Structure 1
Amino acid sequence: MRTFPLTALAVVLCAVSAGPCLAQDFDPLALEAEAPPAAGSSPWRIGLDLAAGRLSTRGGASDDTSRASVDLRYTHAFSPAWQFVLSDRVDRVEPPLPGRPNTTNSLRELALGWRNADATTSVDLGRVTVRQGPAYGYNPTDFFRDGALRAVTTTDPVALRETRLGTAMLRAGTLWDDGGLSVAYAPRLDDPDPATASVDLGSTNHRDRFVATLDRRFGERSSVQGLVMLEAGRGAALGASGSTLIGDALVAYGEWSWGKSGKLLPQVLGLDEALERHHRAATGLTYTLPTGLALTVEAEYNGAGLDEADWRTLAAIGAPAYASYLGVTQPSQEMGARRAWLVYLSQKSLGTKNLDLTAFVRHNASDGSRLAWLELRYHFSALDLALQWQHSSGDAASEFGANPYRRVLQAVVGAVF
């Protein structure tokens, strides 16, 4: 299972983050860059998130938790064709995550972009965020997620995609009526650096990569995407994804990739890893009720992930192995389990106009452990107030059972200026 559910300090969908990329909203033909601010509006957007709560451990002890996050975005259009984007975020988390400083600065984007008059051709240079794949909890085709998660501030997999680092690259794309093509080159620049103020180009640019993406839309109801990645030392990786609207309320989606990587257990144990080709996949259904409640059921598979015997091996080593597991999987948002399930639901205007509900359960099909999470968020005119609850269950030799924090209850206040 991906590691962000394993952290105890998780707080929820940040009020300062952008909207999630869900299967029912997935459009592979959309250009990544957002529109420049309207004339007369401020090019600055500053968000503030404050969280405080209480956690309980497997042994029965309890402790305070807190988080403060400042999220900054600056967008400036030099002309209708040229645009500059800066996006930065500072997170302070107490107690700190294993192996991480309690304060982390994330320079997410710093890029110059060009678009032609009808926005069908684009070129971007700099640190750019590229997200691929319609799945909610695990995205095998999201090739640029590798090393991109510098700070874990939520267990919500949808929200985590919005707070991660971009990748330094040169990218060009073109669109036509029912399709599109983009190519991106991301060079190796450095080694990862977890220091608080580091630009950390090494986390996202630790190997030379070239990614080509071809998109095709079939009417207004279906779309598919094919990807090829050439990676230094690993050869070619293939990926494919798609989504389709069935009737008026049901969306089916899926994504798959096949490429060379090491198995997870040797990486966690610090052993020499043999590179092998592995399949990864996620597929699901989202059904929206007339009330607006959206329910998603998703099956996930990672051919390089840990099976039940691997979890027992880590449990025998104890806390150091668990901390190493987090250190390996968290930055890349990799799913640690061989097989897993996700049930995700969301409801806007729950009983009243401004109250939203989001919840999910992650189930490790290899060891039977579970993580449950729920948020209620109320939107006032000037700020948001949220309450989140999280519970992990399973035996000590399981993914979520090994989490030293059994329950987390937090309150969050967020505002955007």
Structure 2
Amino acid sequence: MKRLFICSVAATLALALAQPVSADDFDLPPDLPAAPAQSLPPDVAPDGALAAPDTDPATTPGEFSAPPGVEFASAEDAAPSAAGRNATLVLEARAFANRDLDGNTTNALRFQAHYFGARDFGGRTGLIFNLRARTFIEENRSYRFADDFNVDVQELALRYALSPETSLQFGRINIRNGVASGFNPTDWFKDGSLVVTDSAAPADRRNERLGVVALTGTTTLGQTLMQIGYRPQIDADPGTVWTDRDNFGLGLDRTNPSDAWFVKVTPQIGDNLSFTANALLLDDDPGIGFELSGTLGDNLVLYSEMMAQKRLSIASEALGASEGSAAFRDGVGAGQGKDWHYQAALGLNWALSQKMVGARDISLTMEYHLNTAGLSSSQIDTLSGAQGADEAAAGAIHGIANRRQEPLARNQIFTRLAWNDFWGDSDLSLLGFYVPADGSGLAQLSFDVPVGDNGNFNLRAISSFGDSRSVYGANPTKTSVQMGMTYTF
């Protein structure tokens, strides 16, 4: 099975690169936000405990994640050109000024080209692709091409329509799930997937990750939409093109570490209500969940998302059978074995009415996040009080939460304020994460200014707050100020 999938991915990649496509016409990291995420130690470095899942405007059909009244567009939805091609090329230059916990500032630059879209080979067959080339230059560090230039195959999949109601996809696919904005319990395949980590915004994070190699089928039964999928385990040797080879490692060991089966069912239950039931079997461990959203009036969307799964807690996964002292392990709840854990996101999105803000386009999102696999208030106290050899164990716990992209704290609050056309055609957004147990959190301010028809200038500032041993305050990057310029072809 491993050889079959690897050879199939190689054939799909060759097919995409052999035919030219014309371009027609989104937890701070444990390292510098501009640094390549794939170079980070996945289980050791402390994180900002940021729950990175999100709502992405590029959700594709069959992924069932749009709340009622919200329509998402994607390259797959767009009408192909006369040549059956639909692609976008985005060039970006971004400058970073990052300050660590000791007050030292490091400057960095990143240049990247992001090429994504779809190609139609005929009435039934098509190709989905999402490729990124990037290079990273950091102050006071020698540039090494082997380490600082990367090509990422984020998505590369063939799709085949068996009928107007049924289609198959095979290859590397970014499978996005969930209706919530700040944390998606049903977004199963985000573990270890990020390729760049320069934004805390949920929508950005979904665009900055690797897809999984999978076979999926989507069909409509009456008015019910159903998706079934299989992600195989892929074992490949380190240092090869299938894993982490310099410049062009596919990272299949990161995205396909175990077998997984999943089913999603979305019945038609009303114009103002959307419901999706989920079932997952991940490495023989079952999970069930749902996504529910509905509109109230013209301005308010309420939603909830829940997943119950048999798994290890974050502390148990990080510390294994022996890491950390007995007192520390007991204090953070490690060593309890697999159990049923629950994750949930409950929230609302409120578009402020004209009576309140006039013609301004302002919306407010509020969410509560629950993760029983995370740490309780007393366990967070134990984590922050780690001394001596237990400091490494504490770092391992932060690292697992960072790799899994889920809240380290059992309870967390998320909020986002978006003001479109804040100044002319410029958009302003402010988002934040807050942990009531220790008073720590993270905030991000972003300001986007259109430049001509195809350009965009972005100013972004990110800052964590709280004690240096708290959930968010422990992040080595205290603040990051960024300027980015993108041009879309």
Q: Same fold (TM over 0.5)?
A: yes
2:257 is paired with a residue of what secondary structure? Answer: coil
Check the 8 A contact 2:57/2:74 in 1, yes or no. no
Unaligned 5+ runs, structure 1: 12-16
Q: Residue 445 of structure 2 is aligned with which of 364, 374, 383?
A: 374
Within 2, Cα distance between the matches of 1:26 and 1:364?
31
Deviation per CA, 1:4-24, whole angstroms, max 9, x where unpaired? 46655269xxxxx97366864
Hey, what does 1:14 align to over in structure 2? none
2:200 is paired with a residue of what secondary structure? Answer: coil
Q: Residue 370 of structure 2 is aligned with which of 298, 301, 326?
A: 301
Greater Cα shift, 141-150 or 376-385:
141-150
Hey, what does 1:146 align to over in structure 2? 191
RMSD of the alignment, in Å?
3.1
Hey, what does 1:45 align to over in structure 2? 88
Which amino acid is 2:261 matched to? F
1:409 is paired with a residue of what secondary structure? Answer: strand
Within 1, Cα distance between the matches of 2:95 and 2:87?
27
Deviation per CA, 1:57-101, whole angstroms, max 9, x where unpaired? 3222222133222212252101122101221123444559xxxx6
Deviation per CA, 1:243-289, whole angstroms, max 9, x where unpaired? 10111000001100011111112333354652111011001010002
Hey, what does 1:349 align to over in structure 2? 421
Hey, what does 1:113 align to over in structure 2? 159
1:266 is paired with a residue of what secondary structure? Answer: helix
Greater Cα shift, 323-332 or 74-83:
323-332
Larger radius of gyration: 2
Within 1, Cα distance between the matches of 2:362 and 2:32?
28
Superposed counterparts of 1:225-374, under 5 Å: 225-234=276-285, 236-271=286-321, 274-289=337-352, 290=354, 291-315=360-384, 316=386, 320=392, 324-325=396-397, 327-352=399-424, 354-374=425-445
Hey, what does 2:332 align to over in structure 1? none
Displacement, 1:175? 2.0
Q: What fraction of aligned residue pairs are identical, expressed as a percent?
A: 26
Within 2, Cα distance between the matches of 1:34 and 1:224?
22
Give the 3 Å change call, closer, same or farther, for CA 281–61 of structure 1 in structure 2: same
**Residue-pair matches, total:** 404
Within 2, Cα distance between the matches of 1:155 and 1:94?
21
Displacement, 1:109? 1.1
Deviation per CA, 1:208-237, whole angstroms, max 9, x where unpaired? 111011102333211000011112242x11
Hey, what does 1:19 align to over in structure 2? 57
Deviation per CA, 1:343-377, whole angstroms, max 9, x where unpaired? 1121221131x201121011012221011100100
Greater Cα shift, 81-90 or 147-156:
147-156
Check the 8 A contact 1:179/1:214 in 2, yes or no. yes
2:422 is paired with a residue of what secondary structure? Answer: coil
Within 2, Cα distance between the matches of 1:410 and 1:229?
39
Within 1, Cα distance between the matches of 2:136 and 2:67?
33
1:293 is paired with a residue of what secondary structure? Answer: strand
Q: Residue 398 of structure 1 is aligned with which of 470, 476, 479?
A: 470
Greater Cα shift, 124-133 or 139-148:
139-148
Displacement, 1:184? 0.3
Which amino acid is 2:288 matched to? L
Unaligned 5+ runs, structure 2: 1-26, 36-54, 60-64, 140-146, 323-334, 355-359
Check the 8 A contact 1:28/1:215 in 2, yes or no. no
Hey, what does 1:122 align to over in structure 2? 167
Give the 3 Å change call, closer, same or farther, for CA 323–224 of structure 1 in structure 2: same
Check the 8 A contact 2:98/2:479 in 1, yes or no. yes
Superposed counterparts of 1:67-146, under 5 Å: 67-93=110-136, 102-115=148-161, 118=164, 120-146=165-191
Within 2, Cα distance between the matches of 1:171 and 1:124?
5
Q: Spell out structure 1 runs of 4+ moving beyond 6 A.
A: 25-32
